[in-house]
């Protein structure tokens, strides 16, 4: 079984199979550079394609709370924890409006026609990032 820490949990505030690009500054010292590079005042940017906006509005995801003592940090993954035994959640609750979850966390959520320009920009930077389900993204436009 695996779990995600609170800092990385926003990486999962999306419908199942939703392609997304996420990027964030790791430390206060790099925040100004991050904000300039991504033209934002936020410390974190998430992006989805316009075709996923309806599902983003309608999807219900659930937040599970576990006893942290049952997990150890997964050294090969940032923010992920693993347990070698079954773990029963302490609580389970719906997240509610995923757009509001982003807004309440001061995460800039971009709804873009194509993820590829942001994907390429992120790969040129030294910031932490996650790009998930890119095989489900629209194809790149021919240049």
Q: State how far the Cα of 83 lies from the Cα of 71, in Å rounded to an integer.
A: 5
State percent of the chain over pLDDT 90. Answer: 89
Closest by alpha carbon to 25, among 108, 116, 119, 132? 108
pLDDT in tens, 35-59: 999 999 999 999 999 999 999 999 9
In angstroms, how far is the first alpha carbon of the chain from the final one? 43
Average pLDDT over residues 101-112: 98
pTM, 2 dp: 0.92
**How far is it, in rounded angstroms, from Cα 64 to Cα 4?**
10
């Amino acid at each position: 079984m695996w779990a995600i820490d609170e800092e990385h949990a926003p990486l999962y505030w999306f419908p199942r199979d939703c392609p997304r690009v996420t990027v964030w500054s790791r430390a206060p010292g790099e925040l100004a550079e991050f904000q300039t590079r991504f033209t934002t005042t936020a410390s974190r940017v998430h992006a989805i394609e316009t075709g996923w906006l309806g599902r983003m509005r309608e999807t219900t995801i659930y937040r599970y709370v576990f006893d942290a003592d049952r997990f150890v940090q997964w050294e090969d993954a940032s923010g992920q924890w693993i347990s070698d035994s079954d773990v029963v959640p302490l609580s389970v609750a719906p997240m509610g409006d995923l757009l509001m979850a982003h807004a309440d966390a001061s995460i800039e959520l971009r709804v873009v026609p194509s993820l590829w320009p942001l994907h390429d920009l992120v790969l040129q930077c030294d910031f932490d990032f996650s790009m998930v389900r890119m095989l489900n993204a629209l194809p790149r436009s021919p240049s």
